[in-house]
Structure 1
Amino acid sequence: MSHDDQVRKLGKKFSSACHTNFGAALLSMRVRGFRGVPDLTLSFNSPITALSGLNGTGKSTIAQLAACAFRQPAGHSWSRYYVAHFFPVSVADPEPFTADAEVHYSYATEGTAAPQQLTVKRATKEWSGYKRQPQRANYYLGFTQFIPKVERRDLSVYGASTLVLGETRQLDTQAAGHVARILGLPYEQLGFADVSTTTKSSKLAMASRSGRTYSENHMGFGEGRVVYMVNTLETAPPKSLILLEEPETSLHGDAQVRLAQYLVDVALRRGHQIILTTHSAAILGQLSRESVVYLRRTATGDVTATHGLSTYQIDSHLQKEGRTPDGITICVEDAFAKCLASWIFRIADADLLSGCSFLTIGGGQEIPAAVKLLTDANRRAVGLSDGDMSHDGTGGVMTLPGSLPPEKEVFAHPAVKEYFANSPFSLDISEVLAGVANHHYYARALAARLMLEESAVASDACRAYAQAHDPGDFSSLIDFVRAHVGDRR
């Protein structure tokens, strides 16, 4: 099964039979009065929820409070999490929460019954509400899950002269394979060994590859953390809640992609609900829109949550050096839509184009949310969706010309066909594209036939399309952009 198929299957299992497939999953939280989060409501619309946003927007606060949502299952020995574990009151931090702070949780219930509602709040000096929480195995994997033992003066390093190596528990073949795939390393064995001195005992991750055996004391931070992370996800009881703090730390880009794919796989296989904080566009790009919650702090200090936006690059755009306050941001779906819009502006109003920058969002459904985020941040922004999305200007979003995706509109136009039919191309693009099922690959297929760059083919096609029109044909689009950026000449 492909990764995209796994993502779709995971979403269907959550929406159709959430409790059956994932247990008493968290469906929503309302957080009031905690450490920089005055009042925030967010939903968990997928078994995997990635909390993204700039530093200081409350990602860790949300994840830590989510860890406090469940009682430990009967018969299990591990400790549960309480609010006081993450929000201690001290002389240094006398008020990490307000007097009326509370968290309202909503849980999936069996059958078609309404979600269970529960509030944990401060009652005098203690927090109330814990006893009515559902039972569920719960793991918070922060940065302390794997701290290199040399950095914490562990006995395996500083008691090495008297160290005794005990029994080793091997990771099963499947779990070891997941670690190997994520890291791209050819392990022969992975496991954990008991080690002890005369007075203390500990546990060491052990690995064998290329005929060499070594312990976690000789692993990099990224490698060691993935070993511990995968071990937890594979050995935790089914339908556990797993909280991950920035799991991409110390992993290169390809490993981050494979880690995200693994999280989808393990949630699908084992019924885990996974909530993670992340700054990784590579991870976000492997998840569904339902999995992404974008947190943003407003000028007044409030925190807002935008669901379904898989475009962490918006914050990079907001902070990009040299961006002038008068610049206009045009949100489009992809590179081809950007190319078409650019040529329309060149033909109809070149001066307007000179004040624009384009931001590719990756999906037409996310364009309205992207425009809202930018305008809320006092950026002048509009969205231009593909013709098949049918936006009428409401919310600052309008469609590009036509009623079809721009690739279909452009490459079906007679002027574009004629352009490529003539010298030096002499190509029948209808014949080439007849065998291309996905319109997103039209320019790529033509580029391969012509031995050109895809961007060059797209630019030539969009120019021919735009030049075949009278500038007045695009007046409604140009007027829309002018109106939304305050230019009404």
Structure 2
Amino acid sequence: MDEYRSEISQSVIIGLEEKVAKDSYGKYLKKVTLRKVRGFTDRTVTFDFPVTALVGPNGGGKTTVLGSAALAYKSVLPRRFFAKSGKYDASMQDWSIEYEVIDKSVSPRGPISRAARFTTSKWSRDSVLDREVKTFGVDRTLPATERAQLKKAIGGKFAALKEVQLPPEVAEHVARILGKQIEGFQQLFLDEAGNVTLFSGRTHRDVQYSEFHFGAGEASVIRIVAGVETAMDGSLILIEEIENGLHPVATRRMVEYLIGVAKRKGCQVIFTTHSNDALAPLPSKAIWAAYNGEVLQGKLDVRALRTITGQIHAKLAIFVEDKFAELMVTTALRAHGGIEMDAVKIHGMGGADPAIKVNNQHNVDPTSSFPSVCILDGDQSHRVDVGERIFALPGYSSPEAHILGRVLERLDSLAAKLAMYLQLSLHQQERVKEVVRNRAVTNWDRHVIWEQIGADLDFTAGNIVASAFLTAWALEFPQEVNDLVDSLGDLLPRRE
């Protein structure tokens, strides 16, 4: 179970989802359909949340989707993402991208359609729309000494044409992302047009230093935040490999900052990533995976992608709805015994639909070297299809509700063991019983029940509580464990 808790409230997430669903933005890219682009044919990506992550293996198509989105707007030159090199790029012929766009300055009543096509050796775009697009490429994390446009800043006699103090709001946001103060930082302008800039900072001893002595992550964060804060409201912001040069915590904070920007400035953000930390603050519908010519919406993390694309050795992949289902299936397999656990890879997909879809795709992929199954929550048992290798967890409700209910049935006899599993002393079993029964009555959302019980028991971590209840369930209800494991039959790899 992932104990990460975003600083973005659920109400903000829901509010932004609803704003997209109601077409409440003045300018917004709703959908991109890749009719024919590189390895994609007739694949659609919808932007159902104003901050969208594109995840996938190298060469999987993340940047293709990012670049395709950019071409909806005339401020982006096609060659920025899709340059043609003479006869060596003949495959670009007949590429085609379609868009569904909100632009209330053009059509106040609803979405409009646009397209970009590569024909007769050049791109053509029909009625390309006006919108500010800010692009932050991977070159932002190059050391300043390796950027050709900054060579003029090297040398003892260099002086910037203009020095501008970073605005307080930029310094504030950068400090939160990096976890350190950046007072006294400046943006140095190297050309009259203001297109080439360098940053400088100050040490705690008030000694000035230039970007030539910044860390790659520090420079990247300052550059992104400074650019975003000066962007017009409603802009489109594109970021390649958002995690480059950043600590995992800073990566999460950067994404949280961008969600805040979407709420505060009405901006839309699309970024590519290889990092699960960048996905952590986002809802499932904000994440799209690109791989093997396919796209899939859902909380498909980097570990799952490595399994799907055959980058790790396995004998069976199991796709479930979420992290708790992952833990429940793992607990059941271990309790049953005789399973080659190292050869089984279990992945939460952020919902039933993504779990079913990726399972189906995996099993029809001729390059797959091992099978997969999908195990849905009990409340999705009506979708079980053994022929399609779709199964269900025990019960007819959410797995959290089922496990809680089963333990409550035998709480008096289980209390001592449960206290031990919770890493508490045995004399606290009466307190455990009281807390569990009270929370079972007062809780409204079974998905957060473990965190609530943990908070009542001296702030025990939610993952410890979940594991304790699952262990108690597996030992007390072995028939449910056996039924679940046996339903998978010979698909499970057994120890010899």
Q: Which range, TM-score by smaller chain?
A: 0.7 to 0.9
- Which residue identity lines up with residue 68 of structure 2 in the other structure? L
- Which residue identity lines up with residue 359 of structure 2 in the other structure? V
- Which residue identity lines up with residue 178 of structure 2 in the other structure? L
Residue pair 2:319, 2:349 contacting (<8 A) in 1 also: no
Matches within 5 A, 1:396-407: 396-407=389-400
What's the counterpart of residue 77 of structure 1? none
Matches within 5 A, 1:281-292: 281-292=276-287
| Aligned-residue offset at 1:154 | 5.1
Distance change in 2, residues 1:194/1:338 (3 Å): closer
Distance change in 2, residues 1:391/1:260 (3 Å): farther
The more displaced of 84-93 and 166-175 is: 84-93
Match of 1:465 among 454, 469, 473: 473
Match of 1:31 among 34, 43, 62: 34
The more displaced of 205-214 and 99-108 is: 205-214
Distance of 2:273 and 2:363 partners within structure 1: 24
What's the counterpart of residue 359 of structure 1? 346
1:188 aligns with 2:183: yes
Match of 1:257 among 252, 271, 274: 252
Distance change in 2, residues 1:465/1:133 (3 Å): same
Match of 2:273 among 268, 271, 278: 278
Report the 3-state secondary structure (helix = DSSP H, G, I; strand = E; otherwise coil) of the residue aligned with 1:187.
coil
1:15 aligns with 2:21: yes
Q: How many residues align?
A: 463
What TM-score do the two structures reach when normalised by structure 2? 0.80
Match of 2:164 among 139, 162, 169: 169
What TM-score do the two structures reach when normalised by structure 1? 0.81
What's the counterpart of residue 100 of structure 1? 94
Distance of 1:267 and 1:376 partners within structure 2: 38
1:410 aligns with 2:403: yes
| Aligned-residue offset at 1:230 | 0.8
Matches within 5 A, 1:443-458: 445=453, 449=457
Distance of 1:374 and 1:53 partners within structure 2: 15
Distance of 1:266 and 1:478 partners within structure 2: 46
Match of 1:118 among 114, 119, 122: 114
Distance change in 2, residues 1:276/1:343 (3 Å): closer
| Aligned-residue offset at 1:411 | 3.9
Distance of 1:388 and 1:346 partners within structure 2: 24
What's the counterpart of residue 481 of structure 1? 488
The more displaced of 410-419 and 42-51 is: 410-419
Match of 2:125 among 124, 129, 142: 129
| Aligned-residue offset at 1:161 | 3.0
Gaps of 5+ in 1: 72-79, 298-302
1:312 aligns with 2:306: no
Distance of 1:261 and 1:339 partners within structure 2: 27
1:55 aligns with 2:61: no
Distance of 1:4 and 1:485 partners within structure 2: 38
Match of 1:386 among 377, 387, 390: 377
| Aligned-residue offset at 1:274 | 1.1
Residue pair 2:165, 2:184 contacting (<8 A) in 1 also: yes
- Which residue identity lines up with residue 303 of structure 2 in the other structure? Q
Residue pair 1:248, 1:256 contacting (<8 A) in 2 also: yes
Gaps of 5+ in 2: 1-6, 420-424
Residue pair 2:304, 2:347 contacting (<8 A) in 1 also: no
What's the counterpart of residue 41 of structure 1? 44
Residue pair 1:345, 1:353 contacting (<8 A) in 2 also: no
| Aligned-residue offset at 1:151 | 1.2
Show CA shifts across 1:236-292 (max 9, x none): 111111111112101010100101101101111111111111111101111111211
Distance of 1:322 and 1:126 partners within structure 2: 40
